[in-house]
Amino acid sequence: QVQLVESGGGLVQAGDSLRLSCAASPRTFSSSTMGWFRQAPGKEREFVAVIIWPGTSTYYADSVKGRFTISRDNAKNTVYLQMNSLKPEDTAVYYCAAASPRKYSGRYYDPNQYDYWGQGTQVTVSS
């Protein structure tokens, strides 16, 4: 059974930091490209960051570049999203996603590239 479990969300003030974690089942994690997406109320789910298997390449949305860092610990089957200098517009539910090699074709920003999704974790940034 594939599982992605996010943690680390919460309520913070503008300028604060948070680190999100996503623990995956070993079979899913071992060869998957791992991404973070977010969805704010009334908006579509949007790409935030991705780390390509095995972890040598990362890409970010322009809105978070320079503030967020994605990383993965392959020994722990976990991907992280370090979020610094948070802004109120970062408020959203954050989702972890895994793209298996059979499905992933390079369009890391496209939610349809991802096979598996976590349940989401709320991040709220107050001004």
pLDDT in tens, 20-38: 999 998 887 888 999 999 9
Tally the residues of the chain: 127
Residues 6+ apart with CB under 8 A from 27: 2
Q: Among candidates 92, 32, 90, which has minimal Cα distance to 64?
A: 90
Cβ atoms 10, 18 nearer than 8 A: yes
Residue 62, class by beta-carbon neighbours within 10 Å (0-12 exposed, 13-18 middle, 19+ buried)? exposed
Quick: pLDDT tens for 51-100: 998 888 999 999 999 999 999 999 999 999 999 999 999 999 999 999 99
